[in-house]
Amino acid sequence: MKNRLRELRAVRRWSQADLADHLDVSRQTINAIETGRYDPSLPLAFKIAAVLELPIESLFYPDE
């Protein structure tokens, strides 16, 4: 699964640590999601969408 986390974070001028603070997760987790090494659980994906104030389908999309 791919995502637009990096791009949307850049728009807000947030570092990975800033986003991690908003989500109460580690910076390592944000990095793993951004680089596609880890697909977040549904609860975390919804939390990310809520923090970025966007619908979840505009954040995550399939590989193909």
DSSP string, 36-58: TS-PPPHHHHHHHHHHHTS-GGG
Q: Which of 10, 8, 3 is nearest to 51 (CA)?
A: 8
Nearer to another protein, 3 or 64 (CB): 3
Q: Which of 8, 24, 19 is nearest to 60 (CA)?
A: 8
- List binders of another protein among 7-26 (CB under 8 A): 7, 9-11, 13-18, 20-21, 24-26
Taking the complex as a whole, the smallest distance from the CB of residue 14 to another protein amounts, in Å, to 7
Q: Mask 23-62, x = binds another protein (CB under 8 A)?
A: -xxxxxxxxxx---xx-xx--x------------------
